Structure 1
Amino acid sequence: MTSPTPEVEVRRSARRRRTVSAYREGDRIVVLVPARLSKKDEQRLVADMVRKVQAAADKGRSTDAELMERATQLSIRYLGGLAHPVSVRWVGNQHARWGSCTPANGTIRLSDRLQGMPEYVSDYVLLHELAHLLQPDHGKSFWSLLEAYPRLERARGYLDGVAFGSGIPASAADDEPDEPGSLPTSALDG
């Protein structure tokens, strides 16, 4: 059963030449199109992209309880079962971050914009936040916790592309590694 049609926002970009993409942002779907696209082509492509985003969301939507179960599975598989969140939940108020973690109380929040993205991408963000329960900063020891995840770079690239395409600015603090030689975080968490 498909969800009701949400509000749709079309963003035109002079930087886009041929590609069209879409993602969920809270209760609406944002569709990114080239600035020179005709209105007729825009209508056709936007309708197609909205259908695709809804189908992916209907297929990939999970509850907070399912998200907690997934966190447990990822902790066991990639972190030796050492990360034990108190709560893991979807939130609709994270517009510049994909996820956040408060190690002091064990809470993890994931942006609902991740719903409908490929599972390896949301798994990466969840694993990233789980790693923060063990290592709060983004130093070498933090990144060594994630190196076993086989799609690490692919997921980071996917998120970087979505952020770039939608004009989400990466905070200067997120782009700078905590230690020399560590990797930037690109709008994951603080």
Structure 2
Amino acid sequence: MPRNDVHIERRTIDGTVVEVRRSTRRRRSVHAFRDGELIVLQVPAALSAPEVDAWAARMIARVAAKETQRRTRTPRSDDALAARAVALSAQYLDGAATPASIRWVRNQNSRWGSCTPASRTIRLSHRLQAMPDWVVDYVILHELAHLLEASHGRRFWALVNRYPRSERAQGFLEGVANAAGIADAWPRTDDIAEGGTH
């Protein structure tokens, strides 16, 4: 349903189709994102045509740079995961949690990671590879904590919460899961229960 406060126009700038959305609600900020083959540029309605063109050129370059960065990002290797697990265990768990193996897997689409304490193996969903390091660190630490405490009880969460960004990472993962339509992808601190591992 079209909004009355947004005027939409399309133009081609430097060979890129740009949909300019002028909004009377937008006062100062300019935002751009890709929508299929075109770049959507959200601007204040008061901007002149030359100002829109200048912003469009700048924002097209910014969107292209982000896309290139995403394409060229080197996936984290299993060896890098193992090294990170050792460092996190040393920093937050006094070096007490040492996995026999930790690796990326492609068959975990409804949870971020899993741990088998008996074999001391940890598996992380490949979907985490595109996430910030501090979120991946949280998931690694969560799984390392399972090597010391199998359930999601109070002792487990006391270990996990040694990580200073624990709550923030939980919120980040919850937001990603909600956006993807994945329910209960990850237990939270307030889900204290005795049971299996994730």
**Superposition TM-score tier, normalisation by shorter sequence:** 0.5 to 0.7
Q: Distance in 2 between the 1:133 and 1:58 partners?
A: 34
> Alpha carbons of 1:107 and 1:60: their partners in 2 closer, same or farther (altered >3 Å)?
same
Q: Distance in 1 between the 2:71 and 2:96 partners?
A: 30
Shift of 1:54: 6.5
Correspondence for 1:110:
124
Query: Are 2:68 and 1:74 equivalent residues in the alignment?
Result: no
* Counterpart contact for 1:78–1:148, Cα < 8 Å: yes
Correspondence for 2:115:
101
Query: Are 2:188 and 1:177 equivalent residues in the alignment?
Result: no
* SS state at 2:82 partner: helix
Query: Are 2:138 and 1:124 equivalent residues in the alignment?
Result: yes
Uncovered stretches (5+) of structure 2, i.e. residues with no partner: 1-33, 41-61
Moved over 2 A (4+): 40-46, 48-60, 173-177
Q: Which whole-Å deviations, capped at 9, do the CAs of 1:110-163 have from their partners, x for residues lacking one?
A: 001000101000000000000000000000000000222111111000000000
Query: Are 2:45 and 1:44 equivalent residues in the alignment?
Result: no
Correspondence for 2:98:
84
Q: Distance in 1 between the 2:65 and 2:81 partners?
A: 24
* Counterpart contact for 1:53–1:116, Cα < 8 Å: no
Number of aligned residue pairs = 141
Q: Distance in 1 between the 2:63 and 2:178 partners?
A: 18
* Counterpart contact for 1:108–1:129, Cα < 8 Å: yes
Larger Rg: 2
> Alpha carbons of 1:149 and 1:158: their partners in 2 closer, same or farther (altered >3 Å)?
same
Q: Distance in 2 between the 1:54 and 1:114 partners?
A: 19
**Superposition CA RMSD, Å:** 2.8
Q: Distance in 2 between the 1:158 and 1:53 partners?
A: 21
Correspondence for 1:168:
182
* SS state at 2:109 partner: coil
Correspondent of 1:150 among 155, 159, 164: 164
> Alpha carbons of 1:113 and 1:140: their partners in 2 closer, same or farther (altered >3 Å)?
same
Matches within 5 A, 1:55-74: 55-56=69-70, 58-59=72-73, 61-74=75-88
* Counterpart contact for 1:101–1:109, Cα < 8 Å: yes
* SS state at 1:81 partner: coil
Uncovered stretches (5+) of structure 1, i.e. residues with no partner: 1-39, 180-188
TM (norm. structure 1) is 0.65
